[in-house]
Amino acid sequence: MPPLVLDISLILLGFFPSIIWLGIFLRKDSHPEPRYMLIRTFLMGMILAPVAVGLQWAFVGLGEKVWPEIFAFSSAHFFLWAAFVEEIVKYWSVKFTALNNPEFDEPVDAMIYMITASLGFAAIENILVLFRSSAESVDLALQVWALRSVGATLLHALSGAIIGYFLALSWFYFEHQRKLITIGVILATLFHFTFNVLVFSFPDSREGFIYSLILLLVFAGLIQVLFRKVKERSRNRPVSTV
């Protein structure tokens, strides 16, 4: 395969899972958001993804000088830091593009925009991983793509939705907005961290994938419930403007 064709194919493959998952989650919005707002939020998730990578590597670089056994890449501490940084960056993506926009006009929008930004972030992450894997072989890249399509990509959407739920709650408890967002980021980080640990902790990668998939399915069900709760609360109680 010519290099240019391979590069374009890898980029398209990296985007594909995010677009599919986004289409699925957008069905949860009874009042669809303007397309330009979704595109802006998705792109901001992509644009800020390198910021997360930079902060993660800075953590490793500084930490290894102080305590290399603890702060090495793929350590539990790195996984926790990496998860925290990624969740913060995804929240920033929404804060910078949608949070103060008039189109952000109902609580469920918080979950929709957080999922959108998260899937933009996941698209860039997928592309980077695919290019790295393709350096070894195209077959490996395709295997990684298949696993990430139902693994890491969905993980980002669900962890973003967790933050989005607590951001949605701030419509009803505006005086506690910072606390609620902090709780959302912490819970999303712990969920993200747990997924990463499950994936990398088992000698048999298939076993780790199975356990992580079970975790995703459980949280996918939880997110369905949270979407319903936000919609019910919106119908039954007046909201405060974020």
- The whole domain housing 29 covers 3-233
Maximum mean pLDDT: which of 66-70, 76-80, 133-137? 133-137
pLDDT at 239: 47
pLDDT at 57: 82
pLDDT digits (tens, 9 = 90+) for 83-123: 999 999 999 999 999 998 998 989 999 999 999 999 999 99
Helix (H, G, I), strand (E, B), or coil: what is residue 99? coil
**CA nearest neighbour of 159 among 129, 134, 130, 195:** 195
pLDDT digits (tens, 9 = 90+) for 13-51: 999 999 999 999 998 887 889 999 999 999 999 999 999
pLDDT at 242: 47
Q: How far apart are CA 147 and CA 232, in angstroms?
A: 35
Number of structural domains in the chain: 1
Residue 239 falls within a domain, yes or no? no
Residue 162 falls within a domain, yes or no? yes
Q: How far apart are CA 41 and CA 120, in angstroms?
A: 8
> Are 46 and 125 in contact, with CB atoms under 8 Å apart?
no
Please, what sign has the CA dihedral across residues 229, 231, 234, 235? negative
| Other Cβ atoms closer than 10 A to 8 | 11
Is residue 56 predicted with pLDDT exceeding 90?
Answer: no
Residue 159 falls within a domain, yes or no? yes
Token duo for residue 88 = 């913060």
Residue 61 falls within a domain, yes or no? yes
- Assessment of whether the complete model's pTM goes beyond 0.85: yes
Residue 242 falls within a domain, yes or no? no
Mean pLDDT of 52-64: 80
Residue 13 falls within a domain, yes or no? yes
Q: What are phi and psi of 203, to 5 degrees?
A: -55, -40
Q: How far apart are CA 162 and CA 154, in angstroms?
A: 12
pLDDT digits (tens, 9 = 90+) for 151-176: 999 999 999 999 999 999 998 888 89
> Are 34 and 22 in contact, with CB atoms under 8 Å apart?
no
Residue 36 falls within a domain, yes or no? yes
